[in-house]
């Protein structure tokens, strides 16, 4: 597990998306129904997720890798 927090930011963003797109909009008849809908979201997200590609308009702003 990384000891720095930047990976946590990605996890927080993902959970925020899950909350906005599934939990906040949903009507759930039971805990099992909520679980089913969350698992369906995870499967669909996994099929459609794409890596994020950073683009810089100013090359001087890039972080240099050593």
- The predicted-structure confidence for 13-66, as pLDDT tens digits, reads as follows 889 999 999 999 999 999 999 999 999 999 999 898 887 776 777 777 766 665
The number of distinct structural domains making up the chain is 1
Residue 31 within a domain: yes
Residue 57 within a domain: no
Residue 2 within a domain: no
pTM: 0.64
Cβ atoms of residues 14 and 38 within 8 Å: no
Confidence of residue 10 (pLDDT cuts 50, 70, 90): confident
Residue 29 within a domain: yes
The tokens for 32 are 């099992």
- Domain holding 40, by residue range, is 7-48
The tokens for 11 are 């996890």
Name the region of 59 (left: φ>0; alpha: ψ -120 to 50; beta: rest).
Answer: alpha
Residue 25, SS3 per DSSP: coil
């Amino acid at each position: 597990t990384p000891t720095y927090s930047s990976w946590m930011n990605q996890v927080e963003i993902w959970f925020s998306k899950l909350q906005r797109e599934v939990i906040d909009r949903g009507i759930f008849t039971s805990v099992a129904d909520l679980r089913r809908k969350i698992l369906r979201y995870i499967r669909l997200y996994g099929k459609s997720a794409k890596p994020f590609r950073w683009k810089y308009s100013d090359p001087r702003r890039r972080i240099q890798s050593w």
